[in-house]
Amino acid sequence: MIEPALTDSSEYPSLLIVDDDEVFCGVLSKALTKRGFSITCAHTIEEALSLAETATPEYAIVDLKLSSESGLVLVEKLRNLDPGTRIVMLTGYASIATAVEAIKLGATHYLAKPVDADEIMAAFERTVGEANIPISAHPLSVGRLEWEYIQRILTENDNNISVTARILNMHRRTLQRKLAKRPLRE
Amino acid sequence: MIEPALTDSSEYPSLLIVDDDEVFCGVLSKALTKRGFSITCAHTIEEALSLAETATPEYAIVDLKLSSESGLVLVEKLRNLDPGTRIVMLTGYASIATAVEAIKLGATHYLAKPVDADEIMAAFERTVGEANIPISAHPLSVGRLEWEYIQRILTENDNNISVTARILNMHRRTLQRKLAKRPLRE
DNA sequence: ATGGCTATGCGACAAATTGTCTCATGCGGA
DNA sequence: TCCGCATGAGACAATTTGTCGCATAGCCAT
């Protein structure tokens, strides 16, 4: 066992998670610790930077939307601190424009939520030239992805089915039906 | 008038358009000539490469979906020929996954069709960091989310449709159809 | 209280999408 | 050359969605 105090010099690679959603940080933190990383969490850009200046992390997971600011600037700064840092940008509000910018700023990869820990792992390993190392991540089925996504948007909107349906650009009747037959395994 | 043979030494910057749609090439060619470029068109990767080997263009516009092959490999090759070439990737089948790949391979920018000549011009000029990208306020529609996800798994698996369909737990026929369709906006 | 506005649940039927099957073609390895 | 696997595509049935309609219910301002 390694003593928790020595995270810096730990034999585990250091990984900084930056996301303003504390619950999300917690869940991810736990999942990645189990996979052998030494995790630190930050909820704002300032916090992330002061942590990174003390000890630059080897890996970072940055949310695009950090309260009001853009996680993009953080990507740039982390890279300036240490060009070797591997950064995955994560977001619930994905767009091609921000993806392009993130990669240009030096992010290793860009993923839209929902994602699971394995997919993030795979993203860190990934290099340009196609699928060299077949990572055994087990991605969600499309059905499952849709279900998770719907649940998130629904929650964000007070469980208002009509509003959610409009946002998701689907018919209220359809959403009703999808929600009705909820037991979706896979 | 400049003699066509001397495109290299022309006073106009050289620009190579690679798209299998001849009509599109023609229109774009005309619009960009008017803006002061010396245009050459190619409709296949081979054609593009042989042209580029003779005289490497200063700018290039590459379509992602070139009949059977992917324009991504062309981006890589053009870059190897001359790292200074500024390349804009263009496509009617835009996705975050391919955008990420394109930028990693060295593309200057990535735009979704339909697009006008001015946007392409702006894309060539774009520099990192400057742009102040707005974070989209609204989440993706379910349809779009599915499209992005499919594209991601597909690129992660070397564009193997059969494998992707199995991973996603959907029928190959269905995946075929979804990929064929989708000039999806939203 | 009454009318205007919106959310919700659900039946019914048409329209669109998927699931299945089947073929023919093309490619790389045994 | 045969085998296994990927792919594109046609055809038809099985499901799922899109649409309408209607009734109920909560909010809120008149």
The confidence score (pLDDT) of residue A1 equals 45
Q: How many CB atoms lie within 10 A of CB B72?
A: 22
Largest CA distance in chain B: 60
Quote the percentage of chain A above a pLDDT of 70.
86
Helix extents (H) in chain B: 22-33, 45-54, 71-81, 96-104, 117-125, 142-156, 161-167, 172-180
Please choose, from the candidates A75, A34, A69, A44, the residue with its C-alpha nearest in 3D space to the C-alpha of residue A57: A75
Buried b (16+ CB within 10 A) or exposed e, B109-120: bbbbeebeeeeb
Which residues in chain B are closer than 8 Å to A99, comparing Cβ atoms?
Answer: 96, 99-100, 103
pLDDT digits (tens, 9 = 90+) for B105-140: 999 999 999 899 999 999 998 877 665 777 877 899
CB neighbours of B151 closer than 8 A, spacing ≥ 6?
Answer: B95, B96, B97, B98
Cβ contact A140:A184 at 8 Å: no
What's B67's DSSP letter? T
The confidence score (pLDDT) of residue B127 equals 78
Query: Using 50, 70 and 90 to split pLDDT, how confident is the model at A5?
Result: very low
pLDDT > 50? residue A96: yes
Please choose, from the candidates B16, B80, B72, B21, the residue with its C-alpha nearest in 3D space to the C-alpha of residue B48: B16
Does the C-beta of B176 come within 7 A of strand C?
no
The confidence score (pLDDT) of residue A181 equals 86
Tokens 């193997």 found at: B160
Note the pTM of the prediction, 2 decimals.
0.90
Query: Using 50, 70 and 90 to split pLDDT, how confident is the model at A130?
Result: very low
The confidence score (pLDDT) of residue A139 equals 81
Q: Looking at the partner chain, which of B110, B138, B146 has a beta carbon nearest the beta carbon of A142?
A: B146
pLDDT digits (tens, 9 = 90+) for A28-72: 999 999 999 999 999 999 999 999 999 999 999 999 998 878 999
Which residues in chain A are closer than 8 Å to B186, comparing Cβ atoms?
Answer: 169
Please choose, from the candidates B61, B57, B94, B182, the residue with its C-alpha nearest in 3D space to the C-alpha of residue A94: B94
| Bases of chain D within 7 A of a CB of the protein | 5-11, 17-21
The rounded distance, in Å, linking the Cα atoms of A146 and B152 is 15
Ranges of residues in chain B with a pLDDT under 70 are 1-10, 129-131, 183-186
| Shortest Cα distance, chain B CAs vs residue A171, angstroms | 11
pLDDT > 70? residue A182: no
Q: Looking at the partner chain, which of B99, B141, B167 has a beta carbon nearest the beta carbon of A99?
A: B99
The confidence score (pLDDT) of residue B23 equals 92
Dihedrals phi, psi of B15, to nearest 5 degrees: -140, 125
| B130 close contact with A: CB closer than 8 A | no
Residue A36: exposure state from Cβ atoms within 10 A (0-12, 13-18, ≥19): exposed
Averaged pLDDT score across all residues of chain A = 88
Question: Hey, are the CB atoms on A153 and B140 less than 8 Å from each other?
Answer: no
